[in-house]
Each structure stands twice: as structure tokens, then as C-alpha cells.
Amino acid sequence: MSASEKKNLQMRKLSRQEIGNSRLDSISLLATSCDPFTGVCYSLNMEPCLACAREASEQYGKKITFAHVLNKLLAVAINENPVFNQVLFGRSMYQIEGVHISNLFMLPVRELALAVIVLDNAHRKTLADIQQESLINMVQKTREHAAPTNKFAMAAAMLLFRLRLNLLISQRLAFTVAFNKGFGSNIFLSYHDYGGPSPFNAVKCIAPVGKAVLRIHACPMGLQPFVDESGAVVSRETLKLTVIADHRIINGIDSYRLGQTLRRLFTSPGTYLL
């Protein structure tokens, strides 16, 4: 889907029975928290995924990168763990239908600027489809950035936030409008590839908007000590994957299950990719 095409957000309100007493208690306990988000860091073996990216590049005749592989595996993992695809607006919790991952990328322009492309349901697509969709959206976003800006619209938007008039509309409505216009989704992925080991871990969202999101920060760490399936410590190309989620929705059991899913997917990615 190109960046110019509008989307329609589909989400289902969960009943109290579906939410469960434990999470209802968490929502109540953290209701007054200014920052209910918590992060879990997973160390994952990148080498099988890098091999799959090379194999897919040869198979499709296209440049398939680790970022394309990562998007598909994350979509598979979230589809298998749908609790990570839920959002909380006020006192109501919703299940998002479909897996929509927002990818941040640097625009190839003089001015340093980031743009967002949203990959929809990557778990249902081939790596070639993901690569094509990413490329089309990157080109479209670059053209949009290069187009003359409407100064009146920009001034009105800035005034809206400075005067906090944006708080007059509900979080759900603001999120729905942003999603339908292709500005972002409930899942944000930042992939940082510095070409070598990096101490980067994660960043914190400080803006008073966009809090209903799952933030995923992925950073290759180069060769690192890694515990394989037999329990032996070996040297592997390692990915540090930090998942920052709303603790009112996600608990320790959910994080453990996601980690188990990610480890399985990263150990045998060919089963899901090729």
C-alpha cells in the first residue's frame, strides 16, 4: 500500500471477561502513573536471519536486508502473541485487527529528517513483497517531504499543541485519525545499524501524544557471547531487541512468552521466511 492510500483502522473493544481480573487490577493500580511503560531486552542470534536474507536476495533477485526479515518475524511473533497488539484508551482496552508496524527511516535529503512507513500484515507477505512495499513508501515519503509545505497548516498544528487544544479530542479519535492518514500505528520499530557494536539500548517517548504504542528498538551488537540451545557459550552475531510496552496491558508472563516465540523464530527463520 502506498503512502498516499488511506487506511481504515479496525479494532475491537474487549469485554471485562476478555481482559481478565489480573489485568483489570493492573489498570487500576497504574491508573495514576505518569509513565506506565516498562521495557524488556532480548538477546537474539542474528546469524540464521542474516543467512535467510542472503538466500532470499538470490532467490528474488532483490536486495533483501535484515530489516525486511526483522519486520516479518516481528509480525509473526505479535500475531502469535496478540496481547502485544492491544491498546488502552481511557478505561477501555481494544484489540487491533491486523499487525501494522511503523518503521522509522532517515530521509535522503539535506535536512536531517525522519519519516515513518507502515508495513501492514508483514507476516502474510513474502520478503520480496515487503521489500517492494518499503521501497515504494520510502520514495513516496521523500517526495512528500520535498513538496512545498503549507505554512498556514503547519502554524495551525503547532498552535494546536502549544495551547494543548489537542487534549480536547479523545486519545482514541486522535490515534484513529493518525492511523488512517498513514502517520503511524500502535507498533513502532526503530532499527539501528551502526555497522558494529553499539551501546544503544532504547529511548523514551517524551511527547504527550502517541502513548498508546508498543516501541521496539533493535540494535545489532556485533559478535557477542551467546548461549546456544545446548547451553554452551559461543560467539554469535547478536541482536539486542528492546520491547517497551504498557505495563497495564503486558505483564511478566506475556514478556516471557514473547521471548520464547522470538527465540524460536530467530533460531529457525527459514520455516517462516522462505
Sequence ranges of the domains in the chain: 11-15+38-145+165-273
Looking only at the bridges linking them, the beta strands covering 187-191 and 214-227 are parallel
For the entire predicted model, the pTM comes to: 0.89
- Start-to-end CA distance of the chain, whole Å, equals 22
Q: What are phi and psi of 26, to 5 degrees?
A: -65, -40
Task: For residue 89, give the amino acid letter.
Answer: F
Q: Is the Cβ–Cβ distance between 247 and 266 less than 8 Å? A: no
List Cα–Cα distances, 240 to 43, 44, 218, 224, 259, in angstroms. Answer: 5, 7, 6, 10, 12
Pairwise CA distance, residues 104 & 232, whole Å:
36
Rounded Cα distance between 224 and 31, Å, is 40
CATH architecture of 11-15+38-145+165-273: 2-Layer Sandwich (3.30)
What tens-digit pLDDT sequence spans the chain (274 residues)? 444 455 788 999 999 999 999 999 999 998 888 888 889 999 999 999 999 999 999 999 999 999 999 999 999 999 999 999 999 988 899 999 999 999 988 887 767 778 899 999 999 999 999 999 999 999 988 888 877 777 777 777 777 777 766 666 788 888 888 888 888 899 999 888 766 555 555 555 554 445 668 999 898 888 888 777 777 888 888 999 999 999 999 999 999 999 999 999 999 999 888 6
Per the listing, cell 536474507 goes with 53
| Backbone torsions φ then ψ of 217, nearest 5 degrees | -115, 120
